Amino acid sequence: MGAARTKSRKKRDKKREPYNPGNTRAAIPQRGRPKAEDARVVAIAARERLGIPAADALSQLAGCSAGRAIMQAALDGQDRGDLWQAAQHMRRVRAAYLSAIGAPNPHPQCLRILAPTEATETAPDDAPADTRTDQERTEAAIRAHDTLQSWLLKAGPVAANAARVVYDDATCRNPAQFRAVLLFIVAGIKGNYSTPKAEPII
């Protein structure tokens, strides 16, 4: 009887014994999910492996092949801004055009991430709500796409490679050439061609 009590007491004491890494008899702590690393730290490390300076690692441009090519080819902040706007315009026009003609989006997730979304909040100085009919939206999207193609044709055969970088996140092998193509889009957006100025894609 006494031996049974002693054995029972030992079991109770063992359960109450605090965890001690050096004590092999101590209970092993429950395994939990490891703490998630700071997403910013992970992003910086990944982009530094691509050769992006730490100062630019958190830039929006560092998140896609087109943006990284712009960072390599353009050192001036204003130049970078214009080129990035051109790449974003191409993505918006393509997404709107594919939707307008009922074509399946070949890269829906890619375009959803890389193409800027419209703001959901309104401010006093915001543009008025779009009251166009579906037909008018479709026609506007097709016109914008045709206008964009006319700008790309001005850049010549190299425009096809630039388009793959922008639309498909393909690797850019010639950033200077890519910049030259985007400058045609920049000029078009600013209304420097005889073709109509870029229409807003909403």
* pLDDT over 70 (residue 114): no
Q: Encode burial over 34-66: b for 16+ CB neighbours within 10 A, e otherwise.
A: eeeeeeeeeebeebeeeebeeeebebebbebbb
pLDDT tens-digit map of 79-113: 889 999 999 999 999 999 998 988 877 664 555 55
* pLDDT over 70 (residue 47): no
The CA–CA distances, whole Å, from 84 to 69, 87, 133, 136, 194 equal 10, 5, 30, 28, 23
Mean pLDDT over all residues of the chain? 75
pLDDT tens-digit map of 64-76: 889 889 988 877 7
Mean pLDDT along residues 182-196? 83
- Radius of gyration of the CA atoms of the chain, in A: 28
C-alpha 20, offset from chain centre: 46
Using DSSP's 3-state secondary structure scheme, residue 188 falls into helix
Please tell me the distance from the alpha carbon of residue 113 to that of residue 98, in angstroms, as a whole number.
16
* pLDDT over 90 (residue 5): no
**More confident position, 34 or 155:** 155
Q: Encode burial over 70-90: b for 16+ CB neighbours within 10 A, e otherwise.
A: bbbbbeeeebbebbbbbbbbb
Residue 108's pLDDT is 46
